[in-house]
Amino acid sequence: RGSLGLDLAAAIDIVLKDTKPVKIPTGVHGPLILNGQSYGALLLGRSSTTLQGLTVEPGVIDAGYTGEIMIMAHTRFPPISIPAGSRIAQLVPLPQLVKEARGPLRGTGRFGSTGGLVLLTLTMEQRPVVEAILCFAHQEKRLRALLDTGADITIIA
């Protein structure tokens, strides 16, 4: 009957030459108004975009945002060309779930303008030390080593 999301297209031709994320302009400006009410939205990639090798990073568009909505995307398989008008992302509208906060208007600031970077750090009481048993020609050698336990291959020299 209808789509949950509103499609967003690239406003310009762009070529991703490496794997670094890029901001892609859409030409669409906030706020998102539906039935006379301002909405926030989740910005998500379209499934067809992912199948073509482009990853759109999810984002949150605040209800009070008045600037141009940008799409942050990257590819693991450069180069990739995105022609202007290509629908690569979608906005999924969200109602305001909390009471309006008092303070400065959201305005046109983007990508981190509502605050600084938050970083979670944990103090590790014990390092990821693994006991390894190396076997060759009926001989065993045991060693304890600091290893990346998520690695597919470990080289011991």
Determine which of 19-28, 34-43, 84-93, 111-120 has the lowest per-residue pLDDT on average.
111-120
Assess whether pLDDT exceeds 60 at residue 107. Answer: no
The fold of 6-94 is Deoxyuridine 5'-Triphosphate Nucleotidohydrolase; Chain A (2.70.40)
> Computed from CA positions of residues 56, 59, 64, 67, in that sequence, does the dihedral angle turn out positive or negative?
negative
Pairing of strands 129-136, 139-146: antiparallel
Over the stretch 38-92, which tens digit does the pLDDT of each residue have? 899 999 999 999 999 999 999 999 988 999 999 999 999 999 999 999 999 999 9
pLDDT given for residue 4 in this prediction:
86
DSSP annotation of 50 reads H
pLDDT given for residue 130 in this prediction:
77
pLDDT given for residue 95 in this prediction:
81
* Residue type (1 letter), 135: C
* Residues near 1 by beta carbon (within 8 Å), at least 6 away in sequence: none
pLDDT given for residue 96 in this prediction:
75
pLDDT given for residue 7 in this prediction:
95
In the annotation, is 148 catalytic?
A: yes
Which of 7, 18, 62, 148 is labelled catalytic?
148
Higher pLDDT, 69 or 37: 69
Q: Give the alpha-carbon dihedral of 89, 92, 98, 102, to 10 degrees.
A: 40
Q: Is the pTM of this model over 0.85?
A: no
CA 80 – CA 78 distance, rounded (Å)? 5
Q: 124: which 2 tokens?
A: 């590790």
Over the stretch 135-146, which tens digit does the pLDDT of each residue have? 888 899 898 877
- Split at pLDDT 50, 70, 90, the class of 131 is confident
Q: What share of the chain is helix, strand, coil (3-state, %, to 5)?
A: 5, 45, 50
Beta-bridge partner residues of 56: 73
Assess whether pLDDT exceeds 90 at residue 21. Answer: yes
* Residues near 22 by beta carbon (within 8 Å), at least 6 away in sequence: 14, 16, 72, 73, 74
